[in-house]
Amino acid sequence: MGMSPESRLALVRRARRMNRILAETYPDAHCELDFSNPLELLVATILSAQCTDKRVNMVTPVLFAKYPTVEDYAAADPAEMEEIIRSTGFFRAKTNSIIGMARSVRDRYGGAVPGKLKDLVTLPGVGRKTANVVLGNAFDVPGITVDTHFQRLTRRFGWTTETDPVKIEHAIGDLIPKRDWTVMSHRLIWHGRRICHARRPACGACSLAALCPSYGTGPTDAKQAAKLVRPGPFS
């Protein structure tokens, strides 16, 4: 006899319980990019593609000091910006995105980063993931950030079988109360970075073990699992 399929109600209850346990596990979960306003977070998030938050945070103090306003980014010399952000990788494409984004904000939004998803996603270099990071963390508008950790964990948890990021976003949005979207995204990303790794998750050190259908994907022995745990802050 196989396991009987989980009912919708059982899934909602299990997902919400897991979210509560993650809240206890990571009471201080937050965006690990440093910023002090929506423009800085938008730039930092563009830079974070294929790059660690830690590396971005090493580069942004110089960048933010040199280009404090949308106007400064819009008028930037690409070669100078590329030099500053080189270590984040894909620096030419990122420079083009940042300058293009700034010109768009200047010309179409009066120089202020817009606070709506439909406007943000029209900016060069800004997809739904980046837009949701900015909405959730700079504007306090609930947003679900579907990064690689989030995609892996929601499938491992059996919260969704979707593989398309937009479909994942909507599926999880139906499970978790809207007010929790932003912080739940951080909790999952923190858990993915610290415990639930892609190759060998630290199952034996996981606070969700009893509720996770993928328990046993990684070592369940407490000692072995403890060696796989990566403490933050991150990377």
Residues present in the chain in total = 235
118, 147, 180, 227: which is the annotated catalytic residue? 147
What is the DSSP-derived secondary structure letter of residue 86? G
What is the DSSP-derived secondary structure letter of residue 176? S
Last residue of a domain, one of 83, 117, 138: 138
Return the CATH number at 72. 1.10.340.30
Q: Count the domains in the chain.
A: 2
**Does the pLDDT of residue 130 top 50, yes or no?**
yes
pLDDT tens by residue, 58-89: 999 999 999 999 999 999 999 999 999 999 99
Q: Is 178 a catalytic residue?
A: no
199 in any annotated domain: yes
pTM: 0.91
Sign of CA dihedral 29, 55, 90, 35: positive
Q: What is the pLDDT of residue 5?
A: 87
Give the residue-averaged pLDDT of 133-139: 97
Q: What is the pLDDT of residue 234?
A: 58
**Does the pLDDT of residue 1 top 50, yes or no?**
no
Q: Is 129 a catalytic residue?
A: yes
Instruction: Please give the C-alpha separations between residue 71 and each of 39, 48, 164, in angstroms, as whole numbers.
Output: 11, 22, 36
234 in any annotated domain: no
Exposure of 220 by Cβ count < 10 A (0-12 exposed, 13-18 middle, 19+ buried)? middle
28, 54, 107, 129: which is the annotated catalytic residue? 129
Give CA–CA dist 235/8, Å, rounded. Answer: 36
Three-state DSSP state, 174:
coil
Share of the chain above pLDDT 90, in %: 96
Q: What is the pLDDT of residue 99?
A: 98
Shared domain check, 209 and 176: yes
